């Protein structure tokens, strides 16, 4: 009976040893694919500021200016215009008394047609101030370039994995883990502020510059 128990115990130990997975060499590494992409989207903010002793007059003048700006923007089919932040707040003087009311309103425009956007900005600056201009890569362009970079990065990952396999003298490798991370920082044009200008001033000519798009792949391979 004791001998049978010992043999049974030996069987379980041997079975457990056979079931234990083999341990192979694992290597973690990262590769990157990058590309300089032309910024194809312009975003600008134009503002209007009104101050008066009567809040009703502030609201009336501000609404008139913003409505006029949206009306002018509607004539530019290649430019998308939308209302931005609007606020009215008191201006305090001596003895913490309200001396006037100040209104601030914004119009935001975006376009891929830099020339049309420049012409609209020129028109709007006759009654508004240019708050700032920024250039970026549009969503559909970003998605298209990102897909291409993912393909390049995966190919680079496979080439690096094969180089590691050769270096360690292994017969083969398998991918244990792979993670993809993409990034594309925006490079805003320096903030430009300007006073109201005459309509006789030439429209600004914009150069959008480039943004650097990257796709990083980090992963783990197992050589054997």
What's the confidence (pLDDT) of residue 2?
Answer: 41
Q: How high is the mean pLDDT of the chain?
A: 86
**Whether pLDDT at 163 is above 80:** yes
Q: Comparing C-alpha atoms, which of 16, 20, 87 is closest to residue 55? A: 87
Please tell me the pTM assigned to this model. 0.77
Ordered domains of the chain (ranges, CATH): 24-40+138-196+210-224 (3.30.110.170), 41-136 (3.30.70.360)
The beta strand positions in the chain, using DSSP E, are 25-38, 41-52, 79-92, 98-111, 129-136, 173-183, 210-223
Looking at residues 66-93, what average pLDDT do you find? Answer: 96
Looking at residues 141-160, what average pLDDT do you find? Answer: 97
DSSP H or E run through 9: helix 2-19
Looking at residues 137-165, what average pLDDT do you find? Answer: 96
What's the confidence (pLDDT) of residue 165?
Answer: 96
What's the confidence (pLDDT) of residue 182?
Answer: 87
> What is residue 95's DSSP assignment?
G
């Amino acid at each position: 009976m004791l001998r049978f128990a010992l043999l049974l115990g030996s069987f379980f130990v041997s079975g457990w040893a056979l079931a234990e997975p083999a341990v192979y060499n694992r290597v973690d590494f990262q590769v990157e694919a990058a590309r300089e992409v032309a910024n194809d989207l312009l975003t600008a903010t134009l503002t209007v500021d009104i101050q008066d002793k009567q809040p009703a007059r502030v609201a009336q003048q501000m609404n008139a200016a913003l409505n006029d700006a949206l009306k002018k923007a509607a004539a530019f089919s290649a430019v998308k215009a939308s209302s931005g932040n609007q606020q009215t707040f008191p201006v305090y003087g001596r003895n913490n008394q309200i001396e006037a009311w100040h209104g601030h309103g914004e119009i935001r425009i975006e376009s891929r047609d830099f020339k049309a956007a420049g012409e609209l900005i020129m028109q709007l600056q006759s009654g508004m101030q240019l708050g700032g201009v920024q250039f970026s890569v549009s969503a559909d362009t970003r998605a298209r370039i990102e897909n291409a970079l993912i393909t390049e990065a995966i190919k680079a990952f496979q080439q690096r994995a094969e180089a590691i396999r050769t270096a360690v003298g292994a017969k083969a490798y398998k991918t244990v883990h792979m993670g993809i991370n993409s990034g594309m920082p925006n490079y805003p044009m320096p903030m430009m502020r300007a006073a109201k200008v005459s309509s006789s001033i030439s429209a600004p000519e914009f150069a959008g510059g480039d943004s650097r798009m990257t796709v990083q792949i980090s992963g783990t391979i197992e050589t054997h």
